[in-house]
Amino acid sequence: MLELSKISVVLPSLDPDDKLITVVNGLLEYGFTDIILVNDGSNPNNLHYFETAAQHPQVHLLHHPENRGKGAALKTAFQWFLENRPDGYGVITVDGDNQHHPEDTRECALRMLETGNIVLGARTFNQADVPSRSRFGNKITCGIFKIFVGMKLSDTQTGLRAIPRSALEQLVSIPGDRFEYETNMLLFMKAQSLSYEEVKIRTVYIEENKSSHFRAVRDSWRIYKLILAHFFKYTASSLFTSLIDEALHAFLTFALCDVLFGWKLSAVTILGARLVSSLLNFFLNHKFVFHSSEKMLSALGKYYAVAFPVAILQFVGTEGIYRLLNVGEELVFLRAVYHMLVMIALYFVSYLAQQRWVFSRRKK
């Protein structure tokens, strides 16, 4: 068996009960020899659980004087590991509510040691004892991750994660102090093309997860705004460059109306405005929307390889269809609705193509 002594268990906890002792004893029983336990500003009435756990020589206890959030507790433990475990291969994060079986924890840790990948313990949500809010929430979040981030995950909120040292050195510095930090970890893994895999684990919910400190509205908003951040920025970039396109078209028309006439004037003004606005859109998407490390010329070629077909599809899907079906101007409402649907569809096609191809990075 690969050596578990090279793996440190990171165990953040807030206001625990006797389940914390069960978790620590289970980890020790299954061969873990180094547990970094973080008290994230717990109530004084709950501190004796930490003191009991810390009686084991394998447990190192860290304290936050006040509650800072799960993300902050994880980063405190990560930083301590990097500074105090120079020979450690990596860590595995575990929740303190006894919902991660120590056998699953060991399997994920060994898998990381074997492959060098980040390993995510993925639960199954189609069981009868899974709370409906958890089942529904996970399906929604996984769907949004797949569409807007391009990551196919079966459990986006798992707290069981095995992380090698090389990735930990990067993850310790990313933003987020509460539950959104775990989402930021996934987004960073995607952005940096870090290799990861999922390992199926048991799905355990004790008293319908009543001990969870997850705040449904506030924490969900923090998570979803991170997932949709690229799309929001992409939309802002598109709107801004559309305004620039319209302004340039008007300016060129005014400036060249005494020099060019008819179709020549239209061609020059439209193409000139579109060239400038598209280059600006490319630059904004490259640097500020997708934060891509793809080389400029390579990304630019792929950008126009998407932009030209989309422009052709837009013309064929609107003007071409109108003329083919002989749809007159009198059907202005239907034309407007159809035009809007075509534009929305192509907008999403362009977004997905840029996210997953134009500005994507190969896996490390």
Q: Which two tokens stand for residue 89?
A: 């291969």
Average pLDDT over residues 214-223: 62
- Do residues 45 and 51 touch, judged by C-beta distance below 8 A? no
Strand partners, 119: 162, 197
- How far, CA to CA in Å, does 84 sit from each of 41, 117, 220? 22, 22, 34
pLDDT > 90? residue 337: no
DSSP state of 210: T
pLDDT value of residue 277: 94
What is the pTM (predicted TM-score) of this model?
A: 0.76
What's the mean per-residue pLDDT of the chain? Answer: 86
pLDDT value of residue 1: 46
For the chain, the straight-line distance linking the first and the last C-alpha, in angstroms and rounded, comes to 27
What whole-number distance in Å separates Cα of residue 57 and Cα of residue 320? 75
DSSP state of 46: G
Q: Which residue has the higher pLDDT, 38 or 215?
A: 38
- Do residues 90 and 74 touch, judged by C-beta distance below 8 A? no
Burial of 306 (0-12, 13-18, 19+ CB in 10 A): middle
pLDDT > 90? residue 265: no
Average pLDDT over residues 11-15: 94
Helices 332-353 and 296-315 cross at an angle (nearest 10°) of 160
Which of 65-91 are b and which e, b meaning 16 or more Cβ less than 10 Å from the residue's Cβ?
eebbbbbbbbbbbbebbeeebeebbbb
- Do residues 28 and 89 touch, judged by C-beta distance below 8 A? no
pLDDT value of residue 292: 83
pLDDT digits (tens, 9 = 90+) for 143-191: 888 888 888 888 888 999 999 999 999 999 898 888 789 988 998 898 8
* Range scoring the smallest mean pLDDT among 92-96, 125-129, 144-148, 187-191: 125-129
* Range scoring the smallest mean pLDDT among 51-65, 172-186, 206-220, 249-263: 206-220
Q: Which two tokens stand for residue 43?
A: 């109530």
Q: What percent of the chain has pLDDT over 90?
A: 53
pLDDT value of residue 156: 86
